[in-house]
Every structure is written in structure tokens, then in C-alpha cells.
Amino acid sequence: MSINLLDAVGDFLRDYDEVVVSVRKLWKDLQLDQKFKDIEIPDFTGFVEMLKNDERFEFMAPMNFAEIYQSLGEEKKKDREHEMESIGLYGGERVKLKETKLTDELLAEMIEKSVNRMMNALKNAWEKRPQNKDAENRLIEIMRKAEQVKKELDGVIQKLKNKIS
């Protein structure tokens, strides 16, 4: 079972539109993909351990939203994490195939995709926002901060692209 699953994960990551992927997103996507319907996928903790024990996979720094949620209690923190995942923003550990080298060109492409994904997720969140003034104000503030981050990252992307040329 494990060998088939790990081979499938490798194939899945080779074809994936991202290079560095949230382990949680990868785990969920594998469960939804019909190509892998006959492969038994363990619970999340078991899945993470399997990946960590296979030399084909490299774990990257986790994406943590803890700073955003530090003032919330555990119950609200979980709710916020589910909200973020529902719009495509996953926290936690990240994984990539070791065989994929992170070049300047690839990094520029990854950052650009990530920024676009973030902006699209926020646009979707705005379209689905609850009719609640507090939630709307919070989302507006997040969108302002995201726009600032986007401007800074656009500069980083340009520097990487100039370095390539």
C-alpha cells in the first residue's frame, strides 16, 4: 500500500501546477482525484509521516497563519483555518519533490502564481462574504494588506526576472 501511495504522490506532484505544496492540500487533493480512488490514503498524520520517511520528498518551511489568529481562542482559530482553506489558502507544512531544483526562474514563477492565487482567493472571499459589517471590515483590511504584499512581491519577482535575463 505505502509504495503505491508514495509513487502516486510523486506522480501527482510532477503533474501538479505548484512546485511547493501544502501537505494538507496535497492530502485532500489526492483523496478527491479519481486516478487515486483505489489507493488507500491514511489519515493526515500518517500521510505526513510517510512523506517524511521517503527520500524523494523534501519538506519546506511551513506557512503559518498563527500571527493572524493569535488573539482568537482555539475554536475560532479552527474556524478561521477552515475559512482560509475554503478559499484555497492552506497553512502548515509544505512539501516538494527533491528532484525539482528551485532556480531563480522557478522561484519567480512560484511567487507570481502564489500572489495571483492569493488575490483570486480574496476576490472569491469578497464575493462570498457574509452580510456582516465586522466580517466585511475584516476582509477589507486583509485585502488592503494583501495589496501591499502584492506590490512588494511584484518587486521581488521583477528582480528575479532581471537576474535571469
The per-residue pLDDT for 64 is 67
Among candidate residues 76, 95, 83, 69, the one with its CA nearest the CA of residue 9: 95
Tell me the helix, strand and coil percentages in the chain, rounded to 5: 65, 10, 25
What is the structure's pLDDT at 90? 76
pTM: 0.65
pLDDT score at 125: 84
DSSP state letter for 163: H
Res 52: pLDDT: 96
Mean pLDDT of each 10-residue bin along the chain, 165 residues long: 77 88 91 85 95 95 66 70 72 91 84 85 85 87 88 83 76
User: Is 94 in contact with 57 (CB distance < 8 Å)?
Assistant: no
CA neighbours within 13 Å on the CB side: how many for 134?
0
* Lookup: cell for 56: 524523494
pLDDT at residue 13 in the model: 92
Contact predicate 150/113, CB 8 Å: no
CATH number for the domain whose boundaries are 1-98: 1.10.10
Q: So where are the chain's domains?
A: 1-98, 101-165
> Would you mind telling me the total number of residues written for the chain in this entry?
165
Residues 43-63 have pLDDT tens digits of 999 999 999 999 999 998 887
Looking at residue 56, its pLDDT comes to 96
